[in-house]
Amino acid sequence: MDRTILHVDINGCYASIECLYRPEIRDKPVAVGGDVEARHGIILAKNELAKKYGVKTGEAIWQAKLKCPNLITVPPRFPLYLRFSKLARAIFRQYSDRVEPFGIDEAWIDITGCSDRTGYEVADEIRRRVFSELGVTVSVGVSFNKIFAKLGSDYKKPDAVTLFTRDNFRSKVWPLPVQSLLYVGPATTRKLSALGITTIGEIAQAPVELLEHKLGKWGYVISSFANGRDSTPVALYDSESIIKSIGNSTTTPRDLTCDADACIVFYMLCESVASRLREQGLMACGVQISLRDSTLYTFERQASLPSPSSISSDLHFAAMSLLKEHYVWQKPLRSVGIRAIDLIPASSPLQTTLFEPPQRRVKREKLELAIDEIRNRFGHYAINRAITALDPSLTNINPKEDHVIHPTGFFKAI
């Protein structure tokens, strides 16, 4: 039996919520943008009116204002958006226990066997309910697999339901451009275009060997997607995905110009990452840093830790060693990040090192746990490393609580 899968997308999520809360700007072009002063000045979301002017998510606010001089930009309020995201998921869960969020504003719902009604009817009810209960519009795609369901929610926006069936997908999905397909990005689009392939239908009909030859295993994957052969399940709600890494990055309020600057920011980030490792009961066996210079050139470097750790000073030492080894400060840095990788359970047995008595390590661990507790009770800024007082302009961030979940990979459900 075919599955019935819905994909729900909250239209212009952040901007729609801001427009709901500010009736006075609802009929004007509105975009939610990061803080220009803190150099996070890009468009995060826009409403339908701003979209008509060609305002795009991800572009700089000044670029958007060239296209739309009377664009109203408002700062983001992530806690509010997370609340809406939770409320929307609570509605979805009334239809199925298989609800898989994809970022903050999208989710798949597998309603196979959950209702006597058709997928279209259920989708339309969800669309009406979200608007009446949350005041924001959604577009819903209904299909027999996740890929086409997602295509459906993009097909007609806002406030619409699109149905792709086995009977109509050739006439409706196949004429769409290749980049509408999940996992076909700019690089793949270029390669396909070199083969004369510009539509999803052309992918579907191209010999799979040719696609595999040009694109590797992704050639096979997108060929299957284009033909509607996608059997990836919709994950059960709350099914904990296995955490592969924990990371934090930040674009600093001013460019970093020397090791001392980076040292301060890495301390902030390492504390957040280490604290989250401990929360999850994990230790890292390796550390990866990402650096972006003032010309936006970005690269990553990684190294193993001498022994697994969830202590911020260990992560910091590794991050600074990587930085010193791989960066010579020809250009200032705009953004830095650190990621704890190769995670293992904190209960794993540890090989002690010759160079540090195990008692000292236990002491350092206890010290950090005490800091966690102080912060949990009295707030993040209740206790800080003295080094962060050297330059408050760099350290006025709370990476742990400002941390927002971004869309994860599609294949995590497998």
Catalytic positions are: 106
- By CB under 8 A, the count of residues binding another protein is 13
- Identify which of residues 121 and 133 has a Cβ nearer to another protein in the complex: 133
Which candidate, 241, 236, 263, places its Cα nearest to that of 252? 263
Interaction of residue 86 with another protein, rule CB under 8 A: no
Interaction of residue 181 with another protein, rule CB under 8 A: no
Which candidate, 301, 307, 300, places its Cα nearest to that of 285? 307
Tell me which of 66, 82, 87, 382 binds another protein, using CB under 8 A.
87
* Nearest approach, Cβ of residue 343 and another protein (Å): 35
Q: Which residues have C-beta within 8 Å of that of residue 180, sequence separation ≥ 6?
A: 151, 154, 200
- Identify which of residues 20 and 182 has a Cβ nearer to another protein in the complex: 20
- Identify which of residues 17 and 338 has a Cβ nearer to another protein in the complex: 17
* Residues 105, 12 contacting (CB under 8 angstroms): no
Question: Six-digit token pair at 27?
Answer: 């009929």
Query: Which residue type occupies 253?
Result: P
Interaction of residue 27 with another protein, rule CB under 8 A: no
CB burial readout 310-345, b (16+ within 10 A) else e: bbbbbbbbbbbebbeeebeeeeebbbbbbbbbbbee
CB burial readout 45-74, b (16+ within 10 A) else e: bbbbbbbebebebebebeebbeebeebbbb
Interaction of residue 134 with another protein, rule CB under 8 A: yes
- Identify which of residues 87 and 210 has a Cβ nearer to another protein in the complex: 87
Interaction of residue 83 with another protein, rule CB under 8 A: yes
Stretch that binds another protein, among 4-12, 82-90, 114-122, 203-211 (CB under 8 A): 82-90
* Residues 285, 342 contacting (CB under 8 angstroms): yes
- Identify which of residues 64 and 91 has a Cβ nearer to another protein in the complex: 91
Stretch that binds another protein, among 15-23, 42-50, 176-184, 384-392 (CB under 8 A): 15-23
* Residues 326, 284 contacting (CB under 8 angstroms): no
Interaction of residue 84 with another protein, rule CB under 8 A: yes
Tell me which of 6, 64, 136, 268 binds another protein, using CB under 8 A.
136
Interaction of residue 132 with another protein, rule CB under 8 A: yes
- Return d(Cα 32, Cα 15) in angstroms, integer: 6
- Identify which of residues 23 and 349 has a Cβ nearer to another protein in the complex: 23
Interaction of residue 75 with another protein, rule CB under 8 A: no
* Nearest approach, Cβ of residue 399 and another protein (Å): 25
* Nearest approach, Cβ of residue 105 and another protein (Å): 15
Interaction of residue 20 with another protein, rule CB under 8 A: yes
Residues facing residue 142 across a β-bridge: 6, 163
Tell me which of 54, 75, 135, 177 binds another protein, using CB under 8 A.
135
* Distance in angstroms between the alpha carbons of the first and the last residue of the chain: 20
Which candidate, 268, 294, 251, places its Cα nearest to that of 390? 268
Stretch that binds another protein, among 129-137, 193-201, 262-270, 403-411 (CB under 8 A): 129-137
Long-range contacts of 79-87 (CB under 8 A, 24+ apart): 80/17, 80/21, 81/13, 81/14, 81/17, 81/105, 82/404, 84/10, 84/13, 84/17, 84/134, 84/136, 85/10, 85/13, 87/133, 87/134
Stretch that binds another protein, among 132-140, 354-362, 381-389, 405-413 (CB under 8 A): 132-140
Question: Six-digit token pair at 40?
Answer: 């996070």
Interaction of residue 131 with another protein, rule CB under 8 A: yes
* Nearest approach, Cβ of residue 20 and another protein (Å): 6
* Nearest approach, Cβ of residue 319 and another protein (Å): 39
* Nearest approach, Cβ of residue 21 and another protein (Å): 5
Binding site for another protein (CB under 8 A): 20-23, 83-84, 87, 131-136
